[in-house]
Structure 1
Amino acid sequence: MRSLSAQLSLMACLLAMSLTGCGGPAGPPVELGPDDTVKAAQKLLTDRCLARQGLVTPRPGAAVPPPEQARRVVGALFGTGRAELSLTLPGGQVVSQHSDGCLAAAQRRLYGDQKRWFLVSTRVNNLRSAAPAADRAEHRRLRAEALERSRALLTEVAQAHA
């Protein structure tokens, strides 16, 4: 099993390769699509947050961590206690999310306003075309901001490892 720093270095290198092609003769740089760009930046931010706490995100094919360590990772990633953000959809379904944890911190960094992103994305993702037009417009705006911030973050990481 690789050390945490080796895993982070490998991830940074893979991100750099996907963004810049590492300047090798293999061809032009590979561009990530908008969704993959935001996902990669969110993954980078959550992995960094977990690493600061001495934790590692489980990877496919890796050994299953002991139950106590798994609980620590889940709590650190998704938050603990009572969920602070909640929205009841028109059909009565309640969707909730924590405002602490590494995922929440990544959302704040990428979307600017985690609570606003939670409310808008929950409505748009669950109600689809029935979501209010103002929510759909705000979703597009926040998503565009997250994409811009994600590209800047991933470019910074790629340049640091070039």
Structure 2
Amino acid sequence: MPRTLRGALARPFVALARLLVVLGLLACAAGCAQTRARPLTPDDTVRAAQLLLTDRCLRAQGLAPPRPGQPPPSKAEQRRVVTALFGAGRAELRVELPNGYVVRRHTDGCLAAAQQRLYGDQPRWFAVSTTVDNLKSKAPQPDRAAYAVLREKALANARAVLNSARTKGTSP
């Protein structure tokens, strides 16, 4: 496999591994110190629900969600997980930023499904979050307003997902 492709396949795992470490520490802190546990921040709540949803999606496809500290899966397994997580084929969503940079995303895959569940409109969330995240305060006001509305919706849905998991006895 060409070195650039290997690097491209590894990058999502590195980012996911970092997220999993943070969420693992948060979960441990919440579980290990019940009397001193602090509520999750809104960002952490949405991330935890997204991780739970993507894990469920991967498991439903017979794939093991990647976790820090686990032995790395085979290259073939990594490709299957990356494809299941991020989608395959041509990216269906596209946003061109004012600097000419184009960002693309799939609407299939476990991450897209989790975003659809949390935000209610994955294509709209992709468009406004890409614009707001890249342009910050220079993002158009309608995009910033839509970002805030969709983020609140995601937070409410994330709380429902995590509460449901807690009620059913599954770990978030």
Query: Partners in 2 of 1:131 and 1:98 — Cα distance?
Result: 23
Structure-to-structure mapping, 1:5-154, within 5 angstroms: 18=30, 26-27=34-35, 29-154=37-162
RMSD: 2.2
One-letter identity of the residue aligned with 2:168: A
For normalisation by structure 2, the TM-score amounts to: 0.79
Q: Deviations over 1:66-121 (max 9, x none)?
A: 11111000000000001000111110000000000000000000000000000000
Report the equivalent of 1:7.
none
Deviation at residue 60 of structure 1 after TM alignment? 1.1
The alpha-carbon distance between structure 1 residues 15 and 156, as it changes in their structure 2 partners (threshold 3 A), is farther
Query: Partners in 1 of 2:62 and 2:28 — Cα distance?
Result: 24
Identity of aligned residues (%): 56
Structure 1 consecutive aligned stretches of length 4 or more whose deviation exceeds 2 Å:
14-18
Gaps of 5+ in 1: 1-10
Query: Partners in 1 of 2:161 and 2:27 — Cα distance?
Result: 11
Report the equivalent of 1:8.
none
- Which stretch has the larger CA shift, 70-79 or 26-35? 26-35
SS in 2 for 1:119: helix
The alpha-carbon distance between structure 1 residues 155 and 148, as it changes in their structure 2 partners (threshold 3 A), is same
For normalisation by structure 1, the TM-score amounts to: 0.83
Query: Partners in 1 of 2:163 and 2:28 — Cα distance?
Result: 8
Query: Partners in 2 of 1:29 and 1:130 — Cα distance?
Result: 37
Q: Deviations over 1:43-76 (max 9, x none)?
A: 0000000000000121111111111111000000
